[in-house]
Amino acid sequence: MMDKSCVFCSQATPLLENELALAFFDQSPVSPGHLLIIPKVHRQDYFDCSKEELAAINDLTR
């Protein structure tokens, strides 16, 4: 879901994605090659993700 007030939505040009998650380069990376991998549905934090969303995030990590 696109939300204009969301910092991730405003910068997200997916490098990788699947049905439930996407990965993109951070505009202010901590280190070279740093990617952000987040669920496509807005969540308060990591712990609010469903089991399916966590599996989708892990799939992109690999």
Per-residue pLDDT, 49: 97
> Domains of the chain by range and CATH?
16-60 (3.30.428.10)
Contacts for 24 with CB less than 8 Å, ≥ 6 apart: 11, 12, 13, 14, 15, 35, 36
Q: Beta strands of 1-62 (E only): which ranges?
A: 16-17, 21-25, 35-39
pTM: 0.82
pLDDT band of 57, cuts 50, 70, 90: very high
Q: What is the pLDDT of residue 17?
A: 93
Let me know: does 31 contact 11? Beta carbons within 8 Å. Answer: no
